[in-house]
Amino acid sequence: MNFTNIISEEYLLGSILIDPEVNIMKLRGDGITSATFTTIDHKRVWNIASQFYDSNKIGSIEMMEFEPEVRGLETASSLAVTIGSLRGKARGTAHIDQHVITLKGFQATRMAYSAAQEAMDMIEEGDSPEVVIGEIQDKLLEAIVTMTSAKPWKTAKEITNEMKQIVNNSHNPSASRGFTSGLPLLDHHTGGLEPEQLWVVAAPSSCGKTLLMLQIVNAFLSAGKHVLAFSFETSAGKISLRNMCNNMEISANSLAGKQGEKMSGVDIKRFQRGLAEMLEKDNLTICDDYDMTMETMMAIASMRKKMGFEIDLIMVDYIQLVDLSNNSGKNREQQVAEISRSLKKMAKQHNCPLITASQLNDDGKTRESRAILQDADVLLNIDPKEDCIYIAKNRDGERGAKLPYAMNGDYQRFEEKHEPIKNRKY
């Protein structure tokens, strides 16, 4: 297959022959490289013009076909004809941006096609689907970046405009900001969950990590947002029952029939109403296959997006239970570090916040890898001794705040303490 557009290639090369001083820098800033062009001579024109530009020989570009340094090449004759043809076809620079978009689209298509061919070869050789996906996903993401990339810098004017926009949004109640966590004090300190952020809930075992994540999930679901959840410990049904306790004010013991408790008539009606609301909203997807890998999760999220399903929040419960398809040559710390980076990449890829949980060591540090702390935008520690949620990291705000939230196990949620914890009934 031929994924090329010669007309656009000629237009861009003609633009640098017309005004090399302006247009070479512009095209570089727009992500144009030698790989953007498809013919040998087009690549050579770009490369030689770039060399002259970097050597401050702008005049050589304007007379490139006659330049001794070019004529000395074995390809001088063919190159001279190509350059002469480009000068003759040059039509100015008014439509340069559109031709940049066109060529980057074709380049991305070539990259995606190459990745698809590689995937087919791996499948024919007997590689598992997870291994295949793991090998080609970075190439597909690179293709997406190629198609959407712009210049890798910002000018002072662009930076100041961005700063003003951030400040204006922060002081405008109607502006789009982070989405609520369902915990007002937490929102006050963090601004809520913003797209592309990685939130990590850390605590020792059995201190409410999953419960706190589900409380945040509930805030999204209640507002009609769409959540994709990956659970390695708890089945989809049990997760949803925990949500039901919170949403519909039904005791966990009575819902589960523990300690001889039964649901009252009111509870049964609430449960039925909760089921009806869940079906009507249809905005929760849970993957509870214990054998999922990081690559599997990324593939599932991409598949859901491709099928037209929105993703406003991703939950992963929890990070130490996630494996990679290929662990060869990597110790557990390296594996967890790669998983942590992949979760951050996943949030960016789907432009939504991602919340996960991490076990803490006896010394209070995230287990198995420091990369979790480094990658997290917000790190919340649940302190069972002081009955509070501690903001251990807050990339865009103040850290160190101890929020007076205590776990109410009966209704599966954290509640703000307005009175000493010993006087509360749980």
Separation CA 12–CA 27 (nearest Å): 8
Separation CA 304–CA 309 (nearest Å): 5
Radius of gyration (C-alpha) of the chain in whole angstroms = 28
Model confidence band, residue 295 (pLDDT cutoffs 50, 70, 90): confident
Model confidence band, residue 75 (pLDDT cutoffs 50, 70, 90): low
Instruction: Say if residue 296's pLDDT is above 80.
Output: yes
pLDDT per residue over 208-251, tens digit each? 888 999 999 999 998 999 999 998 888 888 888 888 887 788 87
Predicted local distance difference test score (pLDDT) of residue 56: 81
Q: What is the pLDDT of the chain when averaged over all its residues? A: 81
Between 63 and 50, residue with greater pLDDT: 50
**pLDDT (mean) for 91-100:** 86
Contact partners, residue 306, CB within 8 Å, separation at least 6: none
Q: Find out whether 180 and 359 touch, Cβ atoms under 8 Å.
A: no
290 to 20, 283, 343: CA distances (angstroms) = 57, 22, 17
Instruction: Say if residue 35's pLDDT is above 50.
Output: yes
**pLDDT (mean) for 376-380:** 92
Q: Find out whether 394 and 189 touch, Cβ atoms under 8 Å.
A: yes
Return the minimum-mean-pLDDT range out of 55-59, 164-168, 229-233, 293-297: 164-168
Predicted local distance difference test score (pLDDT) of residue 422: 41
Strand ranges in 212-342 using DSSP code E only, listed in sequence order: 227-231, 284-287, 313-317
Predicted local distance difference test score (pLDDT) of residue 424: 35
Return the minimum-mean-pLDDT range out of 193-202, 349-358, 368-377: 368-377
Return the minimum-mean-pLDDT range out of 139-148, 339-348, 410-419: 139-148
Predicted local distance difference test score (pLDDT) of residue 267: 84
Predicted local distance difference test score (pLDDT) of residue 380: 93
Predicted local distance difference test score (pLDDT) of residue 215: 92
pLDDT per residue over 157-203, tens digit each? 767 877 887 777 666 655 556 899 989 999 988 989 999 999 999 88
Alpha helices in 183-235 (DSSP H): 184-190, 209-222
The CATH H-level (homologous superfamily) assignment of domain 6-148 is DNAb Helicase; Chain A (1.10.860.10)
Return the minimum-mean-pLDDT range out of 119-133, 162-176, 260-274: 162-176
Model confidence band, residue 72 (pLDDT cutoffs 50, 70, 90): low
Separation CA 269–CA 410 (nearest Å): 18
**pLDDT (mean) for 366-388:** 80
pLDDT above 90 covers a percentage of the chain that reads 15
SS3 422: helix
Q: What pTM, to 2 d.p., does this model score?
A: 0.63
Domain limits, the chain: 6-148, 170-423
**pLDDT (mean) for 242-264:** 79
The CATH H-level (homologous superfamily) assignment of domain 170-423 is P-loop containing nucleotide triphosphate hydrolases (3.40.50.300)
Separation CA 406–CA 383 (nearest Å): 9
Closest CA to 116 of 130, 137, 95: 137
Predicted local distance difference test score (pLDDT) of residue 311: 93
Closest CA to 408 of 212, 274, 269: 212
**pLDDT (mean) for 349-377:** 78
